[in-house]
Structure 1
Amino acid sequence: MSTKNILLTIVTVIVLAAVIYTLTNADDPEVYVENIEKEREKQFKFLRFNPESPLDTEQKNNLGALSFYPIDPAFKVRARLVPAEDRKVITIPMTDGSEEKYIKHSYAEFDLKGVPQKLLLLQSINEIDKRNFFLAFADSTSGLDTYGGGRYLNLRQDGKNSVSIDFNLAYNPYCAYNPDFACPLPPRENLMELGILAGEKDYKKE
């Protein structure tokens, strides 16, 4: 299976998991934490046991756990969807110097920690369900506690003009585990000054 097909497969799995997560009653703090922990366990099992994992055999054998920030409900927000005025296909640079095309779809506007944020939501040119979006972002933790190339979220529009964003579900791209993979870099619109102390931390090979 090609690298591109592998990436499409894992994106599909993550989107489906996000849908189930969104439909589950997360108003109860205990239920919310339990749901996040389940998603993290699924991620670990995929990396540790799935044949399409970016980890090589040695890495899989040595993987005891993934590193995450503590679960913090304050990093789950409801964002307003603002369609991009110049919606078009744009080129996003990859970690290996190549490029990949995405649709510049919408902006997600929200407040986080009292600070207004505006992030660009991309959409795969091959995406069938137009309610699915891809968010690649970097923040002040990038290159320190988290992977320097940024982190990802797969989002699904769950309101007429809104989308839920939970940074506790932020995950590392494949290239954080294996440099043989090429991963999209966050667009300049998504370089956040705020520190996102939520989601997955950087992977350290043992």
Structure 2
Amino acid sequence: MNKNNVFWAIVALVITASLLYTFTGTEDPEFYQNTIEAERERQFKFLKYNLDSPLTEEQKDLLDSLDFYPIDPAYKVRARMEPVANKSLMEVPMTDGSVERYIRHSFAVFDLKGEPVKLLLLQAEDEMDRRNFFLAFADETSADETYGGGRYLNLRQDGQSSITIDFNLAYNPYCAYNPDFACPIPPRENILEIPIRAGEKNYDK
């Protein structure tokens, strides 16, 4: 399996987990906690044992856990989707100097802990399901508590003009574990001036 296929395989797995989680919601705090913990355990097992893991065999042997922020329901938000005027393809730079093409689809607009936030939602050029979106972001924790190249979320529109975003599910790109992989760099619209202390922390090599 080539690197591009490996990347999209993990994206599909994350979307599936996100869908289950989105529809169950956060009404039951214990269930919510268990759902996030189960996804984190699935992520660990994939990296530790899967043949398509970006980790080398030596890294797999040494990996005994992943580092996450404590689960905080305040980082789960309902965002309003504002369509981008004149949707167009954009070339997103990759960490290896290449580019990938995405559709500039819409902005997710919401408040997070009292701060207004507006993030650009991208859609893969070849995405068949037009309710699926990709969010790459960086924040004030990047290159310190979290990976310097930003983190990702795979999202699914769950309302006519709204989408649920839970930063507790934010995960590291493959290049955070192995520089041989190329990963999309967050667009300038998604460089936040606030800390997002939720989701996965920096990988301890």
Please give the range of the TM-score, normalised by the shorter of the 2 chains.
over 0.9
The CA distance in 2 between the partners of 1:174 and 1:200, in whole Å, is 13
**What is the match of residue 172 of structure 1?**
172
Q: Secondary structure at the match of 1:116?
A: strand
| Identical counterparts, % of pairs | 63
User: What TM-score do you get using the length of structure 1 for normalisation?
Assistant: 0.98
**What is the match of residue 150 of structure 2?**
150
**What is the match of residue 19 of structure 1?**
19
Amino acid at match of 1:177: Y
Structure 2: 5+ residue runs without aligned partners? none
- Cα RMSD of the aligned pairs, angstroms, is 0.7
The CA distance in 2 between the partners of 1:189 and 1:124, in whole Å, is 17
Q: Secondary structure at the match of 1:153?
A: strand
- Please state how far the C-alpha of 1:26 moved relative to its aligned partner: 2.5
Q: Secondary structure at the match of 2:104?
A: strand
**What is the match of residue 78 of structure 1?**
78
Q: Secondary structure at the match of 2:109?
A: strand
**What is the match of residue 48 of structure 2?**
48
Amino acid at match of 1:59: Q
The CA distance in 2 between the partners of 1:109 and 1:24, in whole Å, is 22
Instruction: Give the count of matched residue pairs.
Output: 205
The CA distance in 1 between the partners of 2:32 and 2:12, in whole Å, is 22
**What is the match of residue 200 of structure 2?**
200
Q: Secondary structure at the match of 2:77?
A: strand
- Please state how far the C-alpha of 1:86 moved relative to its aligned partner: 2.5
The CA distance in 2 between the partners of 1:63 and 1:81, in whole Å, is 38
Q: Deviations over 1:126-175 (max 9, x none)?
A: 11100000000000000000000000000000011000000000000000
Q: Secondary structure at the match of 1:68?
A: coil
Amino acid at match of 2:14: I
Q: Secondary structure at the match of 2:152?
A: strand
- The verdict on how the C-alpha distance between 1:156 and 1:24 changes in structure 2, with shifts beyond 3 A counting, is same
**What is the match of residue 186 of structure 1?**
186
Could you list the structure 1 runs, at least 4 aligned residues long, displaced by more than 3 angstroms after superposition: none
The CA distance in 2 between the partners of 1:142 and 1:186, in whole Å, is 11
Q: Secondary structure at the match of 1:67?
A: coil
The CA distance in 1 between the partners of 2:38 and 2:202, in whole Å, is 20
- The verdict on how the C-alpha distance between 1:25 and 1:184 changes in structure 2, with shifts beyond 3 A counting, is closer
The CA distance in 1 between the partners of 2:166 and 2:24, in whole Å, is 14
Of 25-34 and 132-141, the range deviating more from structure 2: 25-34
Residue 95 of structure 2 corresponds to residue 95 of structure 1: yes
Amino acid at match of 1:109: V
Residue 117 of structure 2 corresponds to residue 128 of structure 1: no
The CA distance in 2 between the partners of 1:204 and 1:91, in whole Å, is 31
- Please state how far the C-alpha of 1:25 moved relative to its aligned partner: 4.4
Residue 110 of structure 2 corresponds to residue 110 of structure 1: yes
Q: Secondary structure at the match of 2:21?
A: helix
The CA distance in 2 between the partners of 1:142 and 1:11, in whole Å, is 21
Trace 1:49-68 onto structure 2 (pairs within 5 A): 49-68=49-68
Amino acid at match of 1:6: V
